Amino acid sequence: MREKLSAFRHSKESIYLIVLAYFSFLTVAYTFPLIFHMADSVVGKIGDNIYFVWLIGWFQKALFTLHVNPFFHPGLNYPEGWNVAMTETTPAMVLLALPGSLPFGPTWGYNFAILASFVLAGWSAFLAVKKLTDSPLAGLIAGTLFAFSPYRWARYLVGHLNLLGNFWFPFYFVAITEYLLRGRWTWLLIAGLLALGIGLSSPYYLYMGLIITAVFALALIFFYRKTLVLKTTFLRSGVLLITLLITTLIAMLPYLVSNSQGNLADRSLQYANSYSASPLDFILPVNFYLGETVWDWAGRSLEHENALYLGIVCLVLVGLAWLKRWDLQQSPWIGAALVASLAGIILAMGIYLHIQDTTWVWHIPRALRPILDRDTLRIPLPGYFLFQYLPFYTKMRVMMRFGVFTLTLMSMLAGLGSVWLFRKYPTWRYLIAVVLLVCIVLDVYPGVQDRFSKVEARPVDVWLAAQPGNGAVVQFPISRVEDQDLVYDTLIHGKPFIGGYFSANQPKQYRRIKPVLTAFPDEASVALLKGLNFQYILVEASYYPNFSVVHQRIEELGLVLQTVVGDQYVYTWP
C-alpha cells in the first residue's frame, strides 16, 4: 500500500488531481456561502443573473421538451417572436450549466456554471503556463491570479455568466504560439476550437479577442523573427487567419442574422466613451480591506465594469519576468505578451483619455490656441479611430472589457516571473510558492458575500400558470416588460408575453408599439392590445401614484378586472 501511495504522489496524474482539488476548494471558499444556496438563490440583486437563469431554462425546454431552435423564442416579443441573439446567448456557458439544470433546475445549473467557471479558469491558466515553463508551481501562481481576479469577482456579483466564460483565453494564446512557431496542425485545431468556445461564450470576447490576437501574433513574429522562416510564417499566419474567420462565422452566425434584420443597434461615440477605462483602474486595489477608500481618493468611482485591478503580486512578478527575461527561455514570448497586454490597456481606455471619472481635458497654452483654434483638447485614443472605421466596432458598448486580455496575459507573465524565483532558490521553491499564493489571495480577497436573492415566481405568475389556454400576457407600465425578472417569469406561467430582455437591443415591433402602450390607459393603447389579441393585461399598482383613477379609467375603456394578486391587477376582455 505504501509503495502504491508513493507512486501516486510522484505520478503526473497526482499533480493534476491536486491542482484540480486546490482550485475547487478555493472556488468554494471564495464564493462562500453560495454552495448552500445552489437551488434557490443567486448572489447579489436580481438583475442580469435572472436572465441567465431563464436562458438556461429556455435552452433546456427548447432542446429536450419542445425540440425547437433555442435561438428563437416564439412566445416572447409577442406576437412576432424574439431572436434571442439580440442579446447574449452564451451557449457554451448554458451547456456547462445543463448537467446541473436537468436534474435540479435552472437556478442550480446557473450556480454550478459559475463555480465551474472559476475552476476551469484556474485550470486553463495552470495548463497554459505549465506548457510554457514546465513548472506546475508557476502554473498554480498564474491560475490563482487569473481565476480569482477582481474582474471575475465583479462578473460573479452582477451575474454576467457569459463574461465568466473567459477560461478559454490562457490556453488559446499558448495554442496560437505553438502553431505560429512550430506549425503543428494539432495546435491549429486547438486554437480554432478554443476560439469557437470563446465565441460561444461571448461575442464581445470573440470580437475583442480577434483584435488582440492580431497584435499578439504580429508581436510574436517580430520577437521570434531570428528563428522563423519568413515565407513559412506568412503561410501559417494566413492559415490561422482563415481558421479563425471560419470559427468566427460559426459562433457569430445568430448575431449576424439578427444584425441583418436591423436588430443590433449601433452605439454613439458618447455612449461608448462613458464605458471607457482609466489607467488607474488597473492599479487601484479592489479588495475587502480598503473598500472604495483609495478609489475615492483618486477621484475614480468603482463600478463592476472597471474592476480591472491586476494586483500587487502580479505586477511585481511581471516586472521580474521582464527584468530577468534573458535568464528565461521564453524571453521573446514575454515581449509579445507585454505588447498585447499594453494593447488591451489602451483599447480598454476606449474613446478619449480618462484619468478620473470624466474625460481628461488638456487646457492648451495660450501661445498654441491661435494655431489649434481652440482652448481645450480631449485626447483621442486608438479606440476613437476603430470606432469610426472598423466594421461592427460600434456594436460594442463597454470598451473596458478589453482589459480581460491584459489580465490573462499578465497572469501568465506573472507565472513566468515566479519561475525565475523557483530556479534561483530551488530549495525554497515550495515555501516561496505558498507565500506568493497567500499574498495573492490576501491582495484580492473580496470578503464574504452574504447577500443573496431568492429566485421564485410571483404569485400572479402562479395564478396565470393555472389558467387554461395560451392567452398572451402584457404587463404595465410597459417599461416593465424589458426587465429580466419578467422574462424569467415566463418559465413559470408558460404563456406568450410581449416582452423580452430588451436592455441592449429592442426589436422593431416593440419599438413601434411602445410609444402607443406608454400612454396606457387610453383608447389607442387599448385598441392596440385588442388588435394584438392580448388576453391578460397585468397592471402593477405600486407604479402609479393615484391608481384608483387609473383603475377607473381602465374599466371605462372596456376592460374587466379579473382578479387581484398581491400588487398585480389582472384585467381581461368582457
* C-alpha span between 172 and 186 (Å, rounded): 13
Residue 2 has pLDDT above 70, yes or no: no
Q: Give the cell for residue 528.
A: 392596440
Residue 273 banded pLDDT, cuts 50, 70, 90: confident
Lowest mean pLDDT among 149-153, 169-173, 292-296: 292-296
Q: Give the cell for residue 241.
A: 487567419
Residue 5 has pLDDT above 70, yes or no: no
Per DSSP bridges, beta strands 472-476 and 534-540 are: parallel
Contacts of residue 195, defined as CB under 8 A and 6 or more positions apart, other chains included, come to 168, 172, 206, 209, 243, 244, 247, 248, 251
* C-alpha span between 116 and 122 (Å, rounded): 10
Q: Give the cell for residue 490.
A: 415566463
How high does pLDDT run on average in the chain? 90
pLDDT tens digit sequence for 95-152: 999 999 999 999 999 999 999 999 999 999 999 999 999 999 999 999 999 999 999 9
**DSSP per position, 503-568:** SS---HHHHHHHHHHHT-SSHHHHHHHHHTTEEEEEEEGGG-TTHHHHHHHHHHTT-EEEEEETTE
Give the type of residue at 517. Answer: L
**Mean pLDDT, residues 297-314 taken together:** 90
**Mean pLDDT, residues 545-573 taken together:** 91
Lowest mean pLDDT among 4-8, 10-14, 103-107, 428-432: 4-8
Furthest CA-CA distance within the chain: 87
* pTM listed for this prediction: 0.91
User: Partners of 362 in the beta sheet?
Assistant: 377
Distances (CA, A) of 466 to 463, 487, 497, 568: 5, 18, 16, 16
pLDDT at 7: 53
pLDDT at 417: 95
pLDDT at 503: 67
- Judge whether 553 and 521 are in contact, CB under 8 Å: yes
pLDDT at 1: 55
pLDDT tens digit sequence for 405-440: 999 999 999 999 999 999 999 999 999 999 999 999
Give the type of residue at 180. Answer: L
pLDDT tens digit sequence for 318-374: 999 999 988 888 889 999 999 999 999 999 998 999 888 888 887 877 777 777 677
Contacts of residue 393, defined as CB under 8 A and 6 or more positions apart, other chains included, come to 386, 387
List the domain boundaries for the chain: 2-30+88-444, 459-572
398: closest CA among 307, 299, 485, 480? Answer: 307
Q: Give the cell for residue 42.
A: 443567486
pLDDT tens digit sequence for 370-411: 776 777 778 889 988 988 888 888 878 889 999 999 999 999
pLDDT at 8: 46
Residue 6 banded pLDDT, cuts 50, 70, 90: low
H or E segment and range at residue 361: strand 361-363
pLDDT tens digit sequence for 472-526: 999 999 988 888 889 999 999 999 999 877 666 778 888 888 999 999 999 999 9
Instruction: State whether residue 359 is helix, strand or coil.
Output: strand
| CA–CA–CA angle 40, 41, 47 (5° rounding) | 135
**Mean pLDDT, residues 174-178 taken together:** 95
